[in-house]
Amino acid sequence: MNVEPPSQHRNRIAEFRRQHHTGLVALVFTDLVDSVALRRQLGDQSGTSLLQAHRQLARQTLALRRRR
């Protein structure tokens, strides 16, 4: 079995990281409970406005988190 010395292994990892974007990624899913019924109750325009506000709030929250 051919095993690389630790320093050579670290060098290969460092080279990979220089050539590729690496890191952790988090996916965030949000849901408005009974959004279809709520949209029916509010009407198309108000329902769409509510969904847009929800999305904007989620974006702002994530943007604040990225700054930390």
The structure tokens listed for 40 are 């029916």
Residue 61 sits at φ, ψ, to 5 deg, of: -65, -45
Neighbours of 42 (CB within 10 A): 13
pLDDT tens digits, residue range 4-43? 678 888 898 889 888 987 777 778 888 888 988 988 999 9
More confident residue, 3 or 50: 50
The structure tokens listed for 52 are 């847009």
